[in-house]
C-alpha cells in the first residue's frame, strides 16, 4: 500500500497511513492471525462445485385470473412447479436454507406473478415491523427478487417485501455497493403478504409495462431469489452467492440464474401521456401578501422509440407531488448532498452517473452530473421548468443518455436578504458508455449550462472507464475539464481507484485531484483546489470461537490537501464489527478528525467558526440482539 502512496509523492500521507495501519495491526491481528483461514476450506470447495449454468426456472403461462391476496388457492399455483432449493450464504455457506422456502413464477400477456412460501418452525419469532415504502428491510424477515431483463449482466430490477407487505424496489447496478444503486426508482406493482401458524407468504404482481426488456418473441432474463431470516442472521439464495465475492456479491449479476418460458408478452405501451391541471390559492405568509389564484397546465409524454430506447417529453414540468427531502442540519462549511427524487430524472439515471465512488460516510463524493441542479437554485428555491426532452436507453453494447431542459427566469430574496435573479437557462447533458467484456466500460460525458439572456455559460467534458480485473478486483478512473468564461486554467480533475474485496480482505485505494478552477455547475463538487486520498484496509476472519461468526477490523484513512500539499482535512476511522452466531451484532468505531480553517464560516446567525486548527476524537458504538 505504501508503494502506491510513494508514486503519488505524498510523503505526509504515507507516514500517517503507515502509523495508523500498524496501530491496527498491533496485538489484535497477532492474536487473530492463526484464525484467519479457519472455516474457509468448505467455502472454496463449495465455490468449485457451483455450476451456475444449471440454475434455470421456467415461467408458466396462464390464461386465468390471479387474485393477489397472499393465498395460493388458484389452480395455476397448485399445478405449477415451485423451486425449493435455496442455498445459504450466511451462516453456513453451501448448505440449504434452515427454513423451507419455495418460489414460483407465472405470467400472462400483461403481468408477471411471483409467489413465495416462507415456512418457519418458529412463526412467533418472525420479525415484521416496517411498512414504509422503500425502507431497507434488513432487520425484518424479507424476500428479494432480481430481474436482469436485458440479460446483459449490467443492471437489474429489484423488488422486495416483508410479512407486512412493505414495498422496497430499485434498480441495481452490477457489482456496485449499496449506495450506488438507484433506490429512488419506484415501479408500479402490487403485493400482499400473510402470516399464519406455518410461516409467511408473499404474492406479487408486476405489470410488464413497469419493466424494460428486449423486443423478442421469446425472452431469457437473468434472475435470482433471496430470503433473509434476521433472528438467525441468515441469507439464502436460489442461485448461490459466495462469501468470497465480498459483501457486494449479491449484486454480481453475472452469477444469476436464467428465467425462460416468457413468450408473446406485452411490450410497454408505445405512448404514455400524462396531462395535468393545477388550481390553487397561494399567499406569502412572511411578506403578508394577499391571496393570489394559481392556475397551471402541463404535459408529460413518454414514447418508446424502440424496446430499449425511451424518449421523455415534458412541458411545464410539475414536481408538486415529489417526496420532500429528508430534513438535515448542516454544521459544516460544505453543501449537503440530497438525492434526486423527481420521476422525470430517475429513469435512466444510472446512465448519466459520472464521478467518484461514494465510500466515506463523512466526505461526500464529487459527481459531474447532478440533476438537482436543474429546476433548483443554489438556495434550494424551485425554478420553474418550461420543458425539456430526454432520451435514455441502450443499443447493442452502447448506453446512451441525452437531456435538454429549459428553466424559466426567477427572482427571489435568499435567507441572507440578498436579491437573486436567475435568467432563462438551458441545460444539456450527453452521455455515451461502451460496454466492454463483463461489467467493464469506457464512456464520455458532455454538459452545457447556458443563459439565453446573456453570454454566460458553463461546460464540462469528461472521459471515464471501469475495468474488472477479476471477480474480486476492479479499477475505475476519470479525467474531466470545465470551461467558464471568467475562470481560465487550472480547470481539470482526475480520479482513480482500486478495489479488492472478498470474504476475508477489503482493500481500497482512491486518489482525486481537483484543480482550483474546476467548476462543474451541473454537478456536485463541495471542494475544489484539493487532492483527496482514501485508503481502506479491512480484515474479516471467521474465528469460530466465543460464538463469533465473523469479526471485522478496519482502518479507513481520508486525507485532503490543497493543491500545494498543505493539509486541509484528515479523517481516520478505526473500526471493529462483530456478528455472533445467535444473530446479535456489535459495532464500535473511533474517529479522529483534523480540520484546518483558513477563513471563518457562519454555522448559524451570529455563530461563526474562527480560522485555525481543530482536532476531534470521538467514539461511536452500538449493539443489537
User: Is the bond leading into 91 cis (omega within 30 degrees of zero)?
Assistant: yes
Contact 404, 427 (CB under 8 A): yes
Mapped onto helix, strand or coil, the DSSP state of residue 11 is helix
Q: Do β-strands 56-58 and 257-263 pair in parallel, antiparallel, or remain unpaired?
A: parallel
Measuring CA to CA, which residue among 47, 502, 20 is closest to residue 248? 502
- Residue 240 confidence (pLDDT): 93
- Residue 287 confidence (pLDDT): 60
Measuring CA to CA, which residue among 375, 350, 370 is closest to residue 435? 350
Measuring CA to CA, which residue among 616, 579, 572, 473 is closest to residue 22? 572
In the structure grid, which three cell numbers stand for residue 194, read together?
Answer: 400473510
Considering Cα of 242, then 246, then 249, then 252, what sign does the dihedral take? negative
Rounded distance, CA 244 to CA 502, Å? 5
Rounded distance, CA 305 to CA 311, Å? 7
- Residue 602 confidence (pLDDT): 80
Q: Do β-strands 457-468 and 473-483 pair in parallel, antiparallel, or remain unpaired?
A: antiparallel
Residue position matching grid coordinates 443492471: 155
Phi, psi of 225 (to 5 degrees): -120, 150
In the structure grid, which three cell numbers stand for residue 605, read together?
Answer: 446567525
CB atoms within 10 A of CB 197: 7
- Residue 17 confidence (pLDDT): 43
DSSP per position, 45-81: HHHHH--GGG-EEEPEE--S----SS---SHHHHTS-
Instruction: For the full predicted model, state whether its pTM sits above 0.85.
Output: no
Rg (the chain; Cα; Å) = 26
Domains, the chain, in order of start with CATH, read 1-35+540-625 (no CATH), 48-263 (2.60.40.1190), 271-306+308-322+331-501+515-526 (2.40.160)
Maximum distance among all Cα pairs of the chain, rounded to whole angstroms: 76
- Residue 321 confidence (pLDDT): 57
In the structure grid, which three cell numbers stand for residue 412, read together?
Answer: 427571489
Rounded distance, CA 447 to CA 14, Å? 36
- Residue 389 confidence (pLDDT): 94
Task: Give mean pLDDT in consecutive 10-residue pieces for the chain, a chain of 625 residues.
Answer: 34 44 43 43 50 82 94 95 94 95 96 98 95 91 96 92 96 77 88 97 96 89 96 94 85 92 86 80 66 78 87 80 66 77 83 87 86 86 90 91 94 83 94 89 97 91 94 94 92 96 93 96 93 94 90 93 93 93 89 91 80 92 88
CB atoms within 10 A of CB 100: 15
β-bridge partners, 274: 300
Residue 604 CB-density burial (10 A; 0-12 exposed, 13-18 middle, 19+ buried) = exposed
β-bridge partners, 531: 513, 561
Laid out side by side, the sheet with 199-207 consists of: 60-61, 101-107, 111-119, 199-207, 190-196
HEC sequence for 474-495 = EEEEEEEEEEECCECCCCEEEE
- Taking CA atoms, 426 is separated from 218, 319, 371, 452, in Å, by 42, 18, 13, 7
- Residue 174 confidence (pLDDT): 82
Amino acid at each position: 500500500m505504501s508503494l502506491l502512496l510513494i508514486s503519488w509523492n505524498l510523503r505526509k500521507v504515507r507516514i500517517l497511513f503507515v502509523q495508523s495501519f500498524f496501530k491496527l495491526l498491533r496485538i489484535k491481528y497477532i492474536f487473530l492471525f492463526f484464525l484467519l483461514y479457519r472455516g474457509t476450506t468448505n467455502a472454496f470447495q463449495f465455490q468449485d462445485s457451483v455450476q451456475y449454468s444449471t440454475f434455470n426456472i421456467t415461467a408458466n403461462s396462464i390464461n386465468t385470473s390471479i387474485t393477489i391476496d397472499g393465498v395460493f388457492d388458484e389452480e395455476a399455483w397448485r399445478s405449477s412447479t415451485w423451486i425449493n432449493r435455496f442455498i445459504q450464504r450466511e451462516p453456513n455457506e453451501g448448505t440449504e436454507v434452515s427454513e423451507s422456502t419455495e418460489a414460483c413464477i407465472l405470467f400472462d400477456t400483461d403481468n408477471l406473478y411471483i409467489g413465495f412460501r416462507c415456512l418457519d418452525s418458529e412463526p412467533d419469532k418472525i420479525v415484521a415491523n416496517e411498512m414504509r415504502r422503500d425502507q431497507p428491510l434488513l432487520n425484518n424477515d424479507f424476500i428479494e427478487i432480481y430481474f436482469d431483463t436485458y440479460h446483459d449482466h449490467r443492471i437489474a430490477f429489484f423488488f422486495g417485501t416483508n410479512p407486512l407487505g412493505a414495498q422496497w424496489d430499485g434498480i441495481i447496478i452490477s457489482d456496485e455497493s449499496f449506495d450506488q444503486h438507484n433506490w429512488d426508482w419506484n415501479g408500479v406493482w402490487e403485493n400482499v403478504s400473510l402470516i399464519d401458524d406455518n410461516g409467511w407468504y408473499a404474492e406479487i404482481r408486476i405489470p410488464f409495462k413497469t419493466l424494460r426488456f428486449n423486443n423478442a418473441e421469446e425472452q431469457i432474463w437473468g434472475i435470482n431469489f433471496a430470503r433473509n431470516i434476521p433472528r438467525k442472521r441468515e441469507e439464502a439464495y436460489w442461485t448461490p452467492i459466495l462469501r468470497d465475492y465480498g459483501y457486494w456479491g449479491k449484486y454480481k449479476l453475472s452469477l444469476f440464474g436464467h428465467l425462460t418460458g416468457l413468450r408473446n408478452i406485452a411490450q410497454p405501451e408505445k405512448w404514455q401521456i400524462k396531462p395535468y391541471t393545477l388550481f390553487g390559492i397561494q399567499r406569502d405568509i412572511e411578506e403578508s401578501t394577499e391571496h393570489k389564484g394559481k392556475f397551471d397546465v402541463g404535459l408529460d409524454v413518454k414514447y418508446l422509440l424502440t424496446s430499449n430506447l425511451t424518449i421523455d417529453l415534458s412541458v411545464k414540468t410539475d414536481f408538486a407531488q415529489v417526496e420532500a427531502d429528508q430534513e438535515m442540519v448542516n454544521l459544516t462549511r460544505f453543501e449537503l448532498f440530497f438525492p434526486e427524487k423527481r420521476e422525470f430524472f430517475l429513469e435512466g439515471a444510472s446512465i448519466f452517473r459520472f464521478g467518484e465512488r461514494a465510500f466515506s460516510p463523512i466526505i461526500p463524493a464529487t459527481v459531474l452530473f447532478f440533476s438537482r441542479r436543474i429546476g433548483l437554485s443554489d438556495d434550494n428555491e424551485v425554478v420553474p421548468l418550461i420543458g425539456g426532452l430526454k432520451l435514455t436507453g441502450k443499443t447493442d453494447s452502447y448506453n446512451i443518455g441525452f437531456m435538454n431542459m429549459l428553466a424559466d427566469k426567477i427572482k427571489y430574496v435568499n435567507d441572507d436578504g440578498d436579491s437573486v435573479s436567475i435568467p432563462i437557462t438551458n441545460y444539456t447533458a450527453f452521455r455515451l458508455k461502451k460496454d466492454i467484456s463483463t461489467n467493464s466500460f469506457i464512456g464520455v460525458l458532455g454538459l452545457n449550462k447556458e443563459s439565453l439572456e446573456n453570454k454566460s455559460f458553463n461546460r464540462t467534458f469528461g472521459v471515464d472507464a471501469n475495468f474488472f480485473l477479476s471477480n474480486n478486483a476492479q479499477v475505475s478512473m476519470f479525467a474531466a475539464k470545465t470551461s467558464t468564461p471568467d475562470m481560465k486554467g487550472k480547470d481539470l480533475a482526475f480520479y482513480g481507484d482500486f478495489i479488492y474485496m472478498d470474504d476475508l480482505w477489503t482493500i481500497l485505494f482512491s486518489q482525486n485531484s481537483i484543480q482550483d478552477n474546476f467548476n462543474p455547475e451541473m454537478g456536485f463538487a463541495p471542494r475544489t483546489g484539493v487532492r483527496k486520498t482514501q485508503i481502506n484496509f479491512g480484515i474479516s476472519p471467521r474465528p469460530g470461537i466465543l460464538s463469533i461468526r465473523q469479526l471485522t477490523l478496519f482502518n479507513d484513512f481520508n486525507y485532503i490537501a490543497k493543491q500545494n500539499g498543505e493539509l486541509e482535512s484528515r479523517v481516520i476511522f478505526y473500526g471493529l464489527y462483530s456478528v455472533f452466531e445467535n444473530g446479535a451484532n456489535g459495532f464500535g468505531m473511533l474517529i479522529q478528525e483534523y480540520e484546518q480553517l483558513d477563513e471563518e464560516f457562519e454555522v448559524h446567525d451570529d455563530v461563526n467558526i474562527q480560522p485555525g486548527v481543530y482536532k476531534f476524537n470521538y467514539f461511536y458504538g452500538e449493539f443489537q440482539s
